[in-house]
Structure 1
Amino acid sequence: DDYSRFILAWKLQKDMSANSLIEVIQEAVDATGMTEVPVENRTKLLSDNGAGYVSRAFRDYLHLVGIGHILTAPFHPQTNGKVERYQQSLKREVNQIPYEAPSQLDKAIADFVDYYNYRRYHKALGDVTPADVLYERREQILQRRKEVRIQTINRRRNYNRSLRELVNAA
């Protein structure tokens, strides 16, 4: 999800064929209940120009489920910068150890996605998690942090004031 940066669906695949991509997109569609949203309000998919993304089968599938498709400019990965940055973070974490079986790699990716979605604070999101944004908790969290900060500042002022009074009285 571009707005929240929440990873809605993923799957370790052997290739980037249209069928492999369709499997993952269908998981995201099922997870979000997007088919209940009027077609004109449905999300759009931003992708690069990989063979699977520009194939007729993939285009037909997106049309069938009512998802618009925006292709990035060729040789311009910055257009898809958030995804590129996520991939970089994923690779940095997952490539630290060798895996003996695909199931081990699958587990490592699942753990990273869980961490990324639910525990990793994002500066660009206001230091909240993608889940906080997706589930509309960001404003509540930021308000609570502000209240705690004000309480902490007031406690510190009161402590410093009482300390000064003790020093001056002595």
Structure 2
Amino acid sequence: MLGVEYMYFAGPFLNRMHFICLDALSNFPYVVEMGSTTSETTIKALQTIFAIEGLPETLVSDNGSQFSSSVFAEFCHELGIVHIKTAPFHPASNGEAERMVRTFKTAIQKQISEGVNERDALLTFLTSYRSTPNVTGKSPSELLHGRPMCSLLSQLKPMSKPDIKTVSAKFHPEQQVFIRNYARGPKWITGVVQTKIGRKMYQVKTSKGTVRRHQNQMRGVLSSKEFDAGQRLIDNTRTTSPQLEVDNRPSTSVPPQSILKPIELRRSTRPSKPTVRFQSTETLRNRRR
């Protein structure tokens, strides 16, 4: 959640108005290009920011008509936001926003003079300003969000990652496994684990190529003999094509004969009753005669 948020309209600058919001604690800026400066458009811009950062406790602005309207006052009242307006004809009361406007205009004009288009210049400015440490030794992004911002400069020296509880691998490279087959053919095929992808994903090499499977779609093999026996059993299904059922038990070590087993058809022993068909009343009377 934001604490105190400074608001200011910069412009006309580059033939348009720019709505600037600045967090008082972290100096984290938001810049929104505006087609108009009415209360309604200002509220929509603030709603976009609030959807990302949350509601602030206080909003500080000048005495512009868009901030002094009853519509804006009702907007702040409904959200429980305290709106403070600075003293008339005293821009220094909103000095944080004033300084941000000067910094914004200077940086954008410098980049445009170097041949950068307006959109890229704005994105470069926001990225640089948000990720540059200030007098506190931390960047605005780190002060507001609690973690350093990843940028092109930080990629040269990767940030230390927090210790994450490691999950023991269920399968290891070069291990022979059965994997679930979703193409034509048997439902389970043999393969060899190549590498682990992520926490529970594996890359497996099969006779049909290299595939990715979740560990829940894999079954371990006890030995190479079992692997060969399972492969022969799968190959036989391609020629005989019996009706098969897959045993989906969660065990990682399942013998081949339990992976594929014939379905035993179950016949009902209940006596069947004769079918009672619909007959009209006239037909029944004729039969009784």
Fold match (TM-score > 0.5)? yes
* Pairwise CA distance, 1:71: 0.2
Which has more radius of gyration?
Answer: 2
CA distances 1:35-76 after superposition (whole Å, capped 9, x unpaired): xxxxxxx51100011111111211111112221100011111
2:105 and 2:64 map into 1 onto residues whose CA distance is 19
* Pairwise CA distance, 1:80: 1.1
Find the counterpart in structure 2 of residue 134 from structure 1.
144
How many percent identity over aligned positions? 30
Between the two structures, name the one with larger relative contact order (CA 8 Å, sep ≥ 6): 1
1:115 and 1:63 map into 2 onto residues whose CA distance is 35
Query: TM-score when scaled to structure 2?
Result: 0.39
Please report the RMSD computed on the Cα atoms of aligned residues, expressed in angstroms: 2.3
CA distances 1:114-144 after superposition (whole Å, capped 9, x unpaired): 21112x2222xx1321112113459xxxxxx
SS of alignment partner, residue 32 of structure 2: coil
Q: State whether residues 47 and 53 of structure 1, in contact with CA within 8 Å, keep that contact through their aligned partners in structure 2.
A: yes
Q: What are the equivalent positions in structure 2 for 1:9-158 lying under 5 Å apart?
A: 9-34=30-55, 42-96=56-110, 97=112, 104-118=117-131, 120-123=132-135, 126-136=136-146
1:89 and 1:22 map into 2 onto residues whose CA distance is 24
* Pairwise CA distance, 1:12: 0.4
2:75 and 2:122 map into 1 onto residues whose CA distance is 26
Q: State whether residues 77 and 84 of structure 1, in contact with CA within 8 Å, keep that contact through their aligned partners in structure 2.
A: yes
Which runs of no fewer than 5 residues in structure 1 stay unpaired? 35-41, 99-103, 139-170
1:20 and 1:111 map into 2 onto residues whose CA distance is 25
CA distances 1:10-44 after superposition (whole Å, capped 9, x unpaired): 3101232112211221122111233xxxxxxx511
Q: How many residues align?
A: 124
Partner AA of 1:5 in structure 2: N
Q: State whether residues 4 and 133 of structure 1, in contact with CA within 8 Å, keep that contact through their aligned partners in structure 2.
A: yes
1:106 and 1:51 map into 2 onto residues whose CA distance is 28
1:105 and 1:20 map into 2 onto residues whose CA distance is 22
2:57 and 2:82 map into 1 onto residues whose CA distance is 7
Query: TM-score when scaled to structure 1?
Result: 0.64
Higher fraction of helix: 1
Partner AA of 1:106 in structure 2: R
Which runs of no fewer than 5 residues in structure 2 stay unpaired? 1-22, 149-289
Point out 4+ residue stretches in structure 1 off by more than 3 angstroms: none
Partner AA of 1:74 in structure 2: P
Higher fraction of strand: 2
